[in-house]
Amino acid sequence: MRITVVGSINLDFVATAPKLPRAGETVTGAVLARHPGGKGANMALAAQRLGAGVVLVGRVGRDAMAEEALALLVADDVDTGAVIADAEAPTGVALIAVDPDGENQIVVAAGANHRVTPEQLPARIEGPLLLQLELPVETVEAAVGRATDFVCVNLAPAQPVSDQLLRRADLIVVNETEAAFYGDGLHHGGGRVVVTRGAKGATLYQRGVETAWATPPKVRAVDATGAGDCFVGAICVALLEGMDPSDALTFACAAGAIAATRPGAQPSFPTREEVEAILADQAASD
């Protein structure tokens, strides 16, 4: 399969600290690392490592951070031919604080991501399409309108979108906070809705009725950054391969769990072999 991802590309600056700061508080003793990130790029890499072919549509700055932000995508053979280098805006940046339990706080400076316009999109998007909301909503809406096949939208970060988008999506993925933001409108279309709950697992709904659920393997979380994006890439690959919804949720939960055991977003994403191995170990212990 060949998935088109229209989404954000960032460079993440990750400070692992003894604790997360409260408002107005300074926390010292942190260790800084830099990793490629951005929800769009994250989902593209996750899907590629799990067996899909992926083309990414996005935008970076014409600056020193761009090559670093794209490095793992290029190394894993994601097609970045539709990524534009913008001379007027910097590469997007995420400032991330992580505590010893893997919890995080994230502030994003979108930069060139907010200059991905409908004009950059293909007139017709063939094959499966995967989207998030770190781009202008009008661009996301335009991409959905040009899609001819399966559409998955991760409604994050939560913000208002049209009823048309909600009804057109074949798969919507949200966490509990985002699900509360959108309310019953999530279930008005005919597509599936997945609500993720971190270590408590994920539930799949069809027209508001729970049809499948799964829990992740027990792991020691180090950094949850990008684990949700990894889940989204994994559930798309699994469903597009024709997995049973329950098996697809289990597969995606395992991929996200592995990602949480390693620092950084993209560097933490597992291969297909790693996901299958942890699922085999889980089955053997049940």
**Amino acid identity, residue 145?**
G
Q: Would residue 86 show up in a list of annotated catalytic residues for this protein?
A: no
3-state secondary structure 157-197: CCCCCCHHHHHHCCEEEEEHHHHHHHHHHHHCCCCEEEEEC
Of the residues 12, 63, 79, 229, only one is catalytic, namely 229
pLDDT in tens, 174-218: 999 999 999 999 998 889 999 999 889 999 999 999 999 999 998
Two structure tokens written together for 23: 């408002």
Residue 1's pLDDT is 84
Two structure tokens written together for 227: 């684990």
- Give the Å distances, CA to CA, from 257 to 81, 134, 269: 31, 23, 10
285 pLDDT band, cuts 50/70/90, is confident
Percent of the chain scoring above 90 in pLDDT: 88
Domains of the chain by residue range: 2-9+38-91+112-285
DSSP for 71-94 reads: HHHHHTT-EEEEEEEESSSPPEEE
Mean pLDDT of 127-144: 98
Residue 232's pLDDT is 98
Burial class (CB in 10 A: 0-12, 13-18, 19+), 127: middle
Find residue 228's DSSP bridge partners.
none
| Nearest one of 36, 91, 46 to 252, comparing CA atoms | 46
Mean pLDDT of 231-247: 97
Distance CA 99, CA 215 (A): 23
pLDDT in tens, 79-121: 999 999 999 999 999 999 989 988 889 899 999 999 999 999 9
Q: Would you say residue 28 has pLDDT above 90?
A: yes
Residue 33's pLDDT is 92
Residue 190's pLDDT is 84
275 pLDDT band, cuts 50/70/90, is very high
Average pLDDT over the chain reads 95
Residue 140's pLDDT is 98
Q: Would you say residue 170 has pLDDT above 80?
A: yes
Residue 225's pLDDT is 83
Tokens 């991929």 -> residue: 255
Residue 250's pLDDT is 97
- CATH architecture group of domain 2-9+38-91+112-285: 3-Layer(aba) Sandwich (3.40)
Question: Percentages helix, strand, coil for the chain, rounded to the nearest 5?
Answer: 40, 30, 35
